[in-house]
Amino acid sequence: MAPSVLIIEDSLTQAQLIGRLFERAGFAPGLATNRPNALQELARQTWALLVIDVFMADENSLDHIDDYRRAAPNTPIAVMTAIRKGAPLAASHSLNAARRARVDFILPKPFRFEDIQQVCQEVIHRRDNPNPGQILYL
């Protein structure tokens, strides 16, 4: 059975595109377009990986990382955030906030298939060889 990834992204189109990348990397994707739906999915089944967009609608997902962790303990978390040219300070703040939240992976948008592959390989490796406290920045 393929490992599963829950993609939490408020744009359904982007979530589907990202899901196809994970599927190509061997993970079975599930989609949630907001925090309440994501928490319902987390209560419904166990996921191998959570991939969360930092900015969804009017909220910053990093403010709710503890909710996701409680709903899916020991599940690696990757956060996605757009790095905009001309706004390096905003990007820096987002990345630093993600580090402080102790997420497992940071995926700056736009990312490539190789980035997804690397995250998937690391999730499988960690599952088979646990070594907490390691953050992979792409």
Residue 125: phi and psi, rounded to 5, are -60, -45
5 and 50 Cβ atoms separated by less than 8 Å = yes
HSE-up of residue 76 (Cα within 13 Å, Cβ side) = 25
Residue 9 has pLDDT above 90, yes or no: yes
The torsion angle over the Cα atoms of residues 22, 114, 17 and 90, rounded to 10 degrees, is 110
Structure-block tokens of residue 39: 């928490």
| Predicted TM-score of the model (pTM) | 0.86
Report the relative pairing of strands 59-60 and 55-56 from DSSP bridges.
antiparallel
pLDDT, tens digit (0-9, with 9 covering 90-100), for 43-101: 999 999 999 998 888 888 989 999 999 999 999 999 998 765 555 556 666 667 777 77
Structure-block tokens of residue 83: 């790095």
Q: Which residue has the tokens 């990348």?
A: 21
Determine the Cα–Cα distance for residues 1 and 27; give it in Å rounded to an integer.
9
Mean pLDDT of 108-121: 92
At residue 19, the pLDDT reads: 97
Structure-block tokens of residue 61: 């997902």
E strand or H helix at 34: none
The answer to which of 35-39, 52-56, 100-104, 109-113 has the lowest mean pLDDT is 100-104
